[in-house]
Every structure is written in structure tokens, then in C-alpha cells.
Amino acid sequence: MPARLYLSLVFHNHQPVGNFENVFAEGFEKAYLPLVALLERHPTVRVALHFTGPLRDWLIDKQPDFLKRVRALVTRGQVEILGGGYYEPVLVMLSDEDKIGQMSMMSGSVAADFGAQPTGMWLAERVWEPSLARPIAQAGLKYAIVDDTHFNFAGYKDDDLFGYYVTEEQGFPLSLFASSKDLRYLFPWKPVEEAMRWLRSKADQLGGDPVAPPPLALMGDDGEKFGMWPGTWDHCWKSGYMDRFFEAVAQNADWLETITPGAYLSRFPARGRAYLPTASYLEMTEWALPAERMHEITALRRDVEREIDIKQWSDAGRADYLRTLLRNLRGGFWRGFLAKYPEVNQMQKRAAYTSRRLHALPEKNGIRREGLRRVWAAQCNCAYWHGVFGGSYLFHIRAANYANILEAEALLLDDKLRVEQVDFDLDSRQEVVVTGSPFSLVVAPAAGGALVEWDDLPSRCNLLNIMSRRREGYHFALEAAARRLDVITPEMPQWGAPDNVHTTWVRAKRLGLERELVIDWHRRAGFIDHFLGDDATLDAFRRAGYNEAGDFVLGAYQTTISAAPERATVTLQREGHVWAAGVHQPVRVEKRFTLAAGERALQVEYTVTNLSGDPLTLRFGVETAYGLEGGDTESCYLSLPNGEVTGLGGAAASESVSHYRVGTQIRRFEVVVESGQSGALWRFPLAPVSMSEGGFEQVYQGTVFLHLFTFTLAPGAAWRNTFRVKVSDLALG
């Protein structure tokens, strides 16, 4: 007798490019290996597995026997392996050439590793846009897994989604399976018996239709959820939860049968045709919103969920109404992160810029192929968004992306300098892009004339790889919990309890983080021009709560370019105002960036001119924020001319500084800054309060340096200074 309900479990296993070796190893020991051993113990339970390219590369290098064990499960028909983009990119941010290239690379790897060509794909973060059907189909894949949220937004009810639908784009068909949020939240968070009751109820409710295809309940979720998330190792494996669940599935084979998505697709027809809107899973649609809106919609959703819990037993009609409301409570979509985080947009546009140049090359000696592989690695999704997980705030993940971009750039560039004015970040304003070796620059004249990217090719490092401190929607929850004295910290017994990362619990690595919620009013970058009020102190500057007397930080600068293959100069000038003596006084700032071909140095010449009819006493500051891996550890250092050597993790001020060195033992280079005039040097770490699966914490992003000069100018007089910044390798040993 055929099963009344089919069950498809899909485990997505992923570690991002550049993640720490110990995290890969922990994931293997706590999640990936136990899952495969579980399948070996329960041969009648069929599942689908997905291993992303970065994790596959690590497994081949560190655990090659593991892949052989998985291949044996594939050979005996117990496991289906999914394809996808090799480096787990959010496909919508790629050109179609890169989409198809990444998916083809993954399909070839799956066939080589497991002896079976993939028919379906894991869609990274379930980020869907209707245009994706065409390139996915062109890559030879027949289906993708999205979320029930996508279908809800198109008007489908949850009970409509026990099967798959067919969509198309310009005549290219693609089948779509919906991952059940209900099942994701049941397994493994609720007792096995409760999960089985839910499955049985769906079998009884949906399994008797003689016309419709047999119902399929599909759950697709992160493999790391089963062992790596807080408390889940004990819950899933030490307590035997996973074995009990698989045993229960096997014991109910008379009405419940496990099947892989590909097998279901080959045996049964679609439930119909569907055209889905742009969407991701529900939480992602909230995270992509601006902070205040994210807080509002998250709070509203949780209020509705709480009322459903209350009403479902006492007022079924009201509960159904609230469920309908919840299904239609829609947030933003993934591209919102590119508007929310300028630094993320910068990185995405940088990868796209390099990709276009590589695709324009004829294949020669493997340069184009190797360059594209590096760019594809830089498209790994984890650094391009932020929600419950660290994402964009994880410095080492961003650093790995930039390192791969610059590996590709190194194949393209020579010592000749090339300068172009182009709307690089697609905000309607032109940037100045200088490319060459050893430095490439991106200057934003419309945004204070700041240097927003400074690539050092020898170290494969963007020296300005930082994230500014901004308001996040989850900050409201931290503040509210702190007011209630209800923040859970590591020394409390609740800290080790198993916990769904989408919980309302507020965990923090330490108390008092709500006092560190500093919001930067401008993007941190290089060579930002400040005029400080007389009362501005280091602490006020650090906390972005001081009096900015000028209008230069956010103001637009006029641009003049002088470019030759051997030397390039970008001159930026703004005639603005400074609040002095109770009125706005006209002042001109000119800064000139100069690069010489093949020279690992940047020269910046400043001229500040008093255009008023009165003498002016000015506190003029030049800000640059360096982003170095391990900047808040002993791996990095600051060396001052008085012989002091200190770290980059503290705030301090020094007087009469004309030069200093900032070094990193991780990347093995140092930055030497020389100023023609001595002045005060302020510095402080950028450490936004971020939330991850482990709770709230401060995450180091870089260190801000402010060169501060005080001088008096007569009417028409000018102050001049030249900065020379050199980068050099550190000796080994």
C-alpha cells in the first residue's frame, strides 16, 4: 500500500570561504560526521545532502574518507546530492555568465565526487527572483528549493505546498519545492512525538485525495543547526534525539515514506504552475529592511505568533485569521542589503567590476579561467548580508573575499596606471577608479572626497576593509532586555540550554553592551576631512557625539585628474564653510592623491585656505580607518616615534606625532605614515555591537586614526601638509 505522506529531509552543509580552520573542524565533528554516521545506522531513511564548494575543498584536503562514505550512501540510493553555485553565492548578485559558471562548476564536482549528476540545487539563502529560472535551467538543473514564504507571498496556503510546482522564464522551465517553516521549527526543536503528530495530521488531512499527486512534506535547513548551534550538540546527538527521530520515521513506514526531492520529481507530476515574487525565507525579508522597520515588523510578527498560540485552542476562527495575516506580513528582499550597507555594496560592485574585465579577456594560458575561479570565490554569500548570523560584520570573511578579488586582479594588472571616472557603486554619482600595481584606489568625490577602497595587491588586502557602526533592528531588543535586567550571559545557567537562534531570548557575551551602541553619522573611510569644534574630545569623537564645525565630511568635492601610465594624480577641491566666531566662514580644502607606477606608496597633499575676511583658528582633522585582520589582538601593533608600541584595540591620544607604523603579523606587512607637520594623533577601535548565533558581542572592524592640527590663518592664507603612506612587507621570523 503506497505511503499516505512522503517526507523529504534536505541538509545544507556550508562553511564560507575564509572561515577559520577550527570552525570547519568543529562543523565536521559536531554536525557533518554525526549526520552521515546516523544515515549509515538507518539505511531505510532517504535524504538529500548539499555540500558547498568551500566545504568540499576542505573535506577533500582534510577528510577525504568522509566523501567516500557519502558516495557509498549515494550508490545505494539512500542519499541524493544537490548542486548549486560552487562558492554558495546569492545568485541574484551575479551576472548570468557567473551564475551558470558557478553552477556548472558545482555540477561537475558532484559528478566527480559521487558518481551522479545533480538534478536539483540548493538556492543560497533561498534568495529567489523570477529571472533565475532561466540561468538555472541553462545550467542543466531541473529543480530548486525555496521557502513556503515565497509561495505565501504569491497567495498560496501552507496546505497547497505539499508537492512541487513548475515555473518558467522565457520558456525555460524549472520545478520549485517549498521548504516547510512549520517542519523547520519542529525538527529538532520540539519532541519527536510532537513532530510525528504533525506529520501524521498532514497525512490524514492531505493523503486521501485520489486525483492530486501524493503529498510531500519537505524540510530544507542548515546542517549546522544539528550540532553547531548553541546547545544542539547535546540535544541532537548526546541525548539521542536524531536517532529517535529516524527510528520513529522508520517505524511508521506504513503511512510515512522518506524520499529525495529528485526521486519525487521523477515519479510524480507537479501540483500546478506557479510564478513566485522576489523573496527569501521570512527572517531574511526582515533583516534586509532598514533598522527601525526591521524592528517594527519583527515585533509585529512575534506579537501575532503569540496571539495565535493563545487563540488556536480557544478561538479557531481568530487563529486562522491571524495565520492569514502572518502569511501576508511581508518585509523587504535581499538586494536591500546593498542599500543598507555601503561597504557590502562596495565589495559586490568590486567583484562585478573584476568579473566583467575577466569575461572580456580571451582565454590564454588559463588566466581567464583562474581569474574567474578567484572572483567566484569572492562571491561567497556570507559577507554580503547580515541577520542573526555575523555575516557582513565578520572581518575575516570580508578579508577572504577581497583577497580573492585581488588574486584575480593580480592576473590582470601591471605597473601601468589606469584612471577612469565611472559610477562604480551605481548611486548616480561618479567615482574615480585607479587601477594598477601595487595599489588600486576608489575615491568618492561626492561623499566628502573620501578614499573608500585602497587595495594593496602584494598583500591581497583592502586597507579600508571596515564596517561603520550603524543602527540594527535587533539593538532595540538588547536595550529593552537591559532595561528589564533580563540579558542572559555566559555565567548564567540558561546560557547552555538548547536554543533556536530565532528565539526572543537575548543573549550577550557580557553585560553593558547596550552602552556601546554608537552610531556613526558618516561612513568610515580614508582621508575624511573634519573641522572640530573647540569642545570636541577624543571620547566624544569616538562616540560620534561631538560638534562637527565644517560641512566637508558629507560634502561634494570637485575633481581634476592628471593621468599617465607612469603617474596619476587625482585632485579634489571643495569650497565649503566652517562655523567659527559665531558665523559660517568660507574655507577651501584641496587634497591631491598621487600614485607612481610600481611604487608601493600613496602621497596626499593638503591645502586649507581661509576664504573669509577674518582670521580663523581651526582644528583640522584628517581621518583614516585601517582594517587589518586581528587588529584587536597581539597580531597587530602601532609603533609611535617615542618608542611606544601598543595594540590597535584601545582608544588613546598622542601629541606631536609626525610619523608612526601600523603592522599586521597575520598578513606580514606594515603601513608607515609620515606627515610633513606634527600634530595630535587620536585613535580608537571600531567595534559595532553585533548579534550572531552566539549572542550579542562587539566585533572589531578596524581602527580609526585622526591626525589633528590646530592653526590660525589670516584672510587669504593657506595651511599645507603632505602625508606619505608607504606599505612594506615584514621580514619573516
Neighbours of 430 (CB within 10 A): 16
CATH 3.20.110.20 assigned to domain 5-282? The reply is yes
Nearest CA to 703 among 645, 641, 666, 651? Answer: 651
CA distances from 104 to 59, 83, 113, 134, 571 (A): 20, 9, 14, 14, 45
Residue 507 confidence (pLDDT) above 60? yes
503 pLDDT band (50/70/90 cuts)? low
pTM: 0.94
Set 97, 222, 520, 674: catalytic member: 222
C-alpha grid cell, residue 647? 595594540
Q: Which residues contact 559 (CB under 8 A, 6 or more apart)?
A: 421, 432, 445, 570, 571, 572
Residue 87's identity, in one-letter code, is Y
State the Cα angle at 618 between 616 and 623, rounded to 5°: 155
3 pLDDT band (50/70/90 cuts)? low
- The pLDDT, as a whole number, for residue 1 is 44
- The pLDDT, as a whole number, for residue 319 is 79
In the residue annotation, 148 being an active-site residue is answered as no
Residue 99 confidence (pLDDT) above 50? yes
Mean pLDDT of 623-652: 93
DSSP 12-38: EE---TT--HHHHHHHIIIIIHHHHHH
In the residue annotation, 125 being an active-site residue is answered as yes
Nearest CA to 47 among 165, 161, 187, 158? Answer: 187
Residue 586: cis peptide before it, omega within 30 degrees of 0:
no
Q: What is the pLDDT of residues 298-334, one digit of tens each?
A: 888 888 888 887 776 677 778 788 878 877 788 899 9
- Cα-Cα end-to-end distance for the chain: 71
CB of 368 closer than 8 Å to CB of 358: yes
Higher-confidence residue: 64 or 492?
A: 64
Strands (E) located in 286-395: none
DSSP 657: E
Q: What is the pLDDT of residues 14-27, one digit of tens each?
A: 999 999 999 999 99
Domain map (residue ranges) of the chain: 5-282, 475-516, 526-729
d(Cα 284, Cα 297) in Å, to the nearest integer? 12
C-alpha grid cell, residue 730? 615584514
Nearest CA to 402 among 370, 369, 367, 354? Answer: 354
Residue 226 confidence (pLDDT) above 80? yes
Q: Which residues of 680-707 are buried (b: 16+ CB within 10 A; e: fewer)?
A: bbbbbbbbbbbbbbbbbbbbbbbbbbbb
- The pLDDT, as a whole number, for residue 231 is 87
* Stretch (H or E) spanning 347: helix 342-359
Q: Which residues contact 427 (CB under 8 A, 6 or more apart)?
A: none
Rounded percentage of the chain residues whose pLDDT exceeds 70: 98
d(Cα 678, Cα 722) in Å, to the nearest integer? 11
Mean pLDDT of 715-727: 98
- The pLDDT, as a whole number, for residue 493 is 81
CATH architecture observed for domain 526-729:
Distorted Sandwich (2.70)
d(Cα 705, Cα 663) in Å, to the nearest integer? 14
Strand partners, 561: 570
Set 125, 160, 425, 529: catalytic member: 125
d(Cα 329, Cα 394) in Å, to the nearest integer? 30
C-alpha grid cell, residue 514? 547596550
CB of 495 closer than 8 Å to CB of 506: no
- The pLDDT, as a whole number, for residue 498 is 59
